[in-house]
Chains A and B, each alone.
Chain A
Amino acid sequence: MIERYENVIIDIVCSVMVPLIQLFALYVVVHGHYGPGGGFQGGVLFAVSIILLRLCLGKEASHKKFPPKLAAALAASGMLVYMLTGLAPMAAGGAFLDYGHLPIPGVSGAELRFLGITIVEWSIAFSVCGTMVLLFDVLAEGMR
């Protein structure tokens, strides 16, 4: 069971670090097309910020901010969106994850492929973030 440990240094360092880590995670996910990074690393970074919250705030307060059910829902829905994005081009006559055949009206060509990659990156980020937080929660439940 994780409990809150009263310490000014830990509180201040966590309250400064958590928003910075979350902002950097969003940057890594969005910047994944152009440089190193992408959905997996961004999702792991976001999950690390949530785990830091869990460690410094304790169980009750951090479960109010990010409930464990939300982690499971994020993991499952990210996987669902990924599968749908993969299967939708197959229904429209392309191959699996063939972004050029995504049935979205109004966009085509490079823009459509850009949109497909963005959707897939975000769904991977959500899925990985939920899975990591879920792993931590399950392990912390087993603690005495």
Chain B
Amino acid sequence: MIWQIDFWLLVVLIIAALLALEVRDLLAAVAVLSAYSFLAALLFAQLGAIDVSFVEATLGAGVSGVLFVLALFCTRRRYEK
């Protein structure tokens, strides 16, 4: 448990979360969300919860990113009536 690593991981995590909310391009938002999940996995591993971090890294950073991109491709680029 090294508090500097915890602190900076948490800072970058919050920045990534805010960025995912603020960014306008949805594809970029999905990429930032995947980065957020991976940072959360690193934070869980640093806190000693290896099992939770494993699930977060595989599901959050891996599968959910792919599923979000697929759902995005089902939509149109611009709003049409």
Contacts and interface: CB of A to CB of B under 8 A. Distances in A.
Contacts of A28: 54
Contacts of B50: 35-36
| Most A Cβ at <10 Å: residue of B50, B71, B73 | B73
B66 interface: yes
A99 interface: no
Contact of B55 (A41, A48, A132, A135): A41
B74 A139 contact: yes
Contacts, number: 41
Contacts of B66: 51, 55, 136
A126 interface: no
A35 B59 CA distance: 19
Nearest to A140: B70
B67 interface: yes
Interface string B37-81: 000000000000011001100110011001100110110000000
Contact of A44 (B51, B58, B67, B71): B58
B63 A36 contact: no
Contacts of A45: 58
B63 A51 contact: yes
Contacts of B58: 41, 44-45, 48
Contacts of A48: 58, 62-63
B55 A40 contact: yes
B54 A37 contact: yes
Interface string A131-144: 01001100110111
A142 B62 CA distance: 21
A139 B62 contact: no
Contacts of A44: 55, 58-59, 62-63
17 contacts: A28-B54, A35-B50, A36-B50, A36-B51, A41-B54, A44-B55, A44-B62, A44-B63, A45-B58, A48-B62, A48-B63, A51-B63, A55-B66, A132-B63, A140-B70, A143-B74, A144-B74
